[in-house]
Amino acid sequence: MTDQPQAKKLSTRTLSRLPQYLHYLDALRAAGIAYVTSAKLAKALGCSDALTRKDVAALGHSGRAGLGYSVDALRYTIARILGVTSGRRVLLVGAGNLGTALMSYEGFGDRGMHITAVADSDPAKIGTTINGYTILDIHDIGTDHDMELAIVAVPGDVAQEVADILVEAGITGILNFAPRRLQVPDHVKVQTVDLSAELQILAFHRDGASG
């Protein structure tokens, strides 16, 4: 379960860095490394040593002189905040090209996220099996489920309708891949992934580096 009280004390920017910390700490643990310094954490994330120390202090950890932070202890705290220790069941909406690719993405499981159901509105897809998932009718998604999170991988012109259905079904967190901003109640959190914007940012940095 997510450590909600502690998570609420963290800034949005600190929370956004936690998955990167977790990824690096997983690599350290796999390599048998027991302690890590703030300098090495900072280098791995591409940020300042001071910022890393501030993040870790906000998580309630202090380092040991000459050693740094316990990899296992710090990883456990971050994993608990992100919900990795308990696992989260996720609904995927959209069984098109992007949705099909997401069904096979192993990174979700590595972070305690599990796609447990896939829904679509296309009659040609509903009832078929794709990558081991039987495609459900999005309009049949009610409140009798144990999923709090959903991934929206549908065209922009139907994304808001899908979001409305998800809100009615009790979904409180949406990862949105659709190219449009979703309007949802305040209690529902939306994280939008704009692939074109990310490419533009990448191109900007590349041009700047080569200029």
Kindly list the domain boundaries of the chain, sorted by start residue: 4-82, 88-196
**pLDDT tens figures, 141-189:** 887 778 889 999 999 999 999 999 999 999 999 999 999 999 999 999 9
Q: What is the pLDDT of residues 52-67, one digit of tens each?
A: 999 999 999 988 888 9
Give the C-alpha distances (Å, rounded to integers) separating 98 from 40, 87, 208.
35, 23, 31
- Contact 149/113 with Cβ under 8 angstroms? yes
71-125 pLDDT, tens per residue?
A: 999 998 998 888 776 678 899 999 999 999 999 998 887 777 889 999 999 999 9
Confidence of residue 1 (pLDDT cuts 50, 70, 90): very low
**Binding residue numbers:** 94-99
pTM to 2 decimal places: 0.66
Q: Could you tell me what percent of the chain has a pLDDT over 90? A: 62
Asked if residue 3 has pLDDT above 60, the reply is no
Q: Please report, in range form, the residues annotated as the binding site for NAD(+).
A: 94-99
Statement: residue 202 has pLDDT above 90: no
Q: What is the mean pLDDT of the chain?
A: 88
Which fold, 88-196?
A: Rossmann fold (3.40.50)
78, 22 in Cβ contact below 8 A? yes
What contacts 24+ positions apart, CB below 8 Å, involve 134-140? 135/95, 138/93, 138/162, 138/165, 139/165
From 1.20.1630.10, 3.30.450.20, 1.10.10.10, 3.90.1150.10, which CATH number describes the 4-82 domain?
A: 1.10.10.10
